[in-house]
Amino acid sequence: MNVYLDNASSTRLDERVVEAIMKTFYEDIALPLSEFVHTPGQRVKELIEESRKKIASFVGAESSEIIFTSGGTEANNLAIKGIAYARAKKGKHVVTTAVEGRSVLDSVRRLEKSGFRVDIVPVDRYGFVDLDALERAVSGDTILVSVQMVNDEVGTIQPLEEVVKIVKSKNPETFIHTDATYGIGWIPFNVKELRVDLASFTAHKIHGPKGIGALYVKKGVSIEKQMDGGYAEFNLRGGTPNIHGIVGFAKAVEILSWDEVEKVRNLRDYLYKRIISSIPEVVLIGPSDFSRRHPANLNLSFKYVEGESVVLYMDMKGVAVISGSACFSRGLEPSYVIMAMGHSHEDAHGSIRFSLSKYNTKEEMDYTVLVLEEVIKSLRELSPLGGN
C-alpha cells in the first residue's frame, strides 16, 4: 500500500482542478495583454478576472486586492520587501516570529542587511507567538509585523486576532502581513474580519496546481514592486500570467469543502490515538489543544530514534512522511521551528510530521500505524539510548 502523508508540503490535484486546467491548455492560448486587440486575449483576461474574483471572495477580499504570484514564497517576498521599501521613510523596523517559513525569515534578514531593524519574537512550547514580547517589540517606527497563520511543520494556529489587536493598539500605522499558505481552505479565514493588511496564499496545499500563489494587499496599502519590466497584476508583479495555474487555483478554492476538512480532522485524530496507544514514549510536538492545531497536522517525536531513519524506512514500506531531523534537512541543523519551541535537539531529530488530506483513508492510517510500529521497534533495538 502507498500512503502519502506529506500534504503540508504539497497535495494531489483534485480531478476537477485538472479538468479546468486542461481546458486552458487547448482553449486559452492568448495573453491577457492582447485584450484590446483580439477576442482570444479578451477571453483569457476574463478568465483571470473571474478567477481573481473567486479567490478574493473566498478570503473576504475585493478582486483588486489580489495579486497573482508564482506561489507563497514570492508572495511573502513581495509583501515584506514591498512594504519595507515603500515605507522606508516612515520607519525601518520590521517584526516577525521565530517559527516563520524561510521565505519570511530570509526576506527580513535581507532587509536587515539593507539597514532595517528586525525583531524576531519568540514562541512558547506549543509554537504560539509570545504576545507580550510582540507588544514590547512594536514601536513607533515599526512599519510591518509578519505573523504566519499556521505553522506547516507543527500545526500551530497563531492567535491572529489578538496579534492584530496588540499591534494596532500599539501602533495603528503598522501593517500586518500573514503567511496564510497552510491556512486557507483548512481554517476559516477572512482578511476583513481579521483586519490584516497583507496575506500570502498558495494553491498546491489545497489540491491546486504548483507554481501559483497570490498576495492580498488591502486597498490603500502601497507596496513597491520587486520585479521590473512588466505591467501585469496592477503593475505590482510583472511577467506572463500563469493562466493555467490561476484557473486551477480558482477551481481548487471553488470546490473546497468544510465537510472534507472535518473528515480529515477525524482521520488525523484517529491516527494520533492509534499511534500513542501502540507505541510507547512518543512526544507530541505542537499544540496539545487540538482545537488550536491545523486539522490535518500531526507532529510526533519518537524517543531514542533519529527521524531520517524513520522516514527512509517508512518510505521503503510505502508511507511518505517527513522529519525535522538535521540529516533529513541536508543542512546539519535540526528543525529551527521545533528548536525555537524549546524542545531538545533529540526531540527535533526524532520528529516526524504526518500531514493528511482528503484523499487519505482509515485503511491508510491503519497501515501507517502498522508500519510505524515495526520501524520504531526495529530502530529502537539498534539504538544505544534504549527504548526496548
Residues that bind another protein (CB under 8 A): 304-306, 308-309, 312-313, 316, 325-328, 330, 332, 334, 344-346, 349, 381-385
CA distance 372 to 368: 6
Q: How far is the CB of 327 from another protein (least distance, A)?
A: 4
Helix (H) or strand (E) holding 24: helix 15-27
Alpha-carbon torsion angle 152, 352, 249, 185, nearest 10: -60
Closest CA to 306 of 343, 350, 347: 350
Q: Between residues 186 and 328, which has the closer beta carbon with respect to another protein?
A: 328
Closest CA to 95 of 52, 130, 124: 130
20 or 311: CB nearest another protein? 311
Nearer of residues 34 and 383 to another protein, judged by Cβ: 383
**Counting beta carbons within 10 angstroms of the beta carbon of residue 15, is it exposed (0 to 12), middle (13 to 18) or buried (19 or more)?**
exposed
**Which of residues 37 and 382 has its CB atom nearest to another protein in the complex?**
382
Indicate if 327 belongs to the active site: yes
Q: State the nearest-atom distance from the C-beta of 338 to another protein, in Å.
A: 12
Residue tagged active-site, from 327, 329, 366, 370: 327
Grid cell 491548455 in the structure block, residue: 25
Least gap, CB of 380 to another protein (angstroms): 10
Q: How far is the CB of 1 from another protein (least distance, A)?
A: 16
User: Rounded to an integer, what distance in angstroms lies between the CA atom of residue 253 and that of residue 54?
Assistant: 7
Give the DSSP H or E segment for 282.
Answer: strand 282-284
Q: Which residues are catalytic?
A: 327
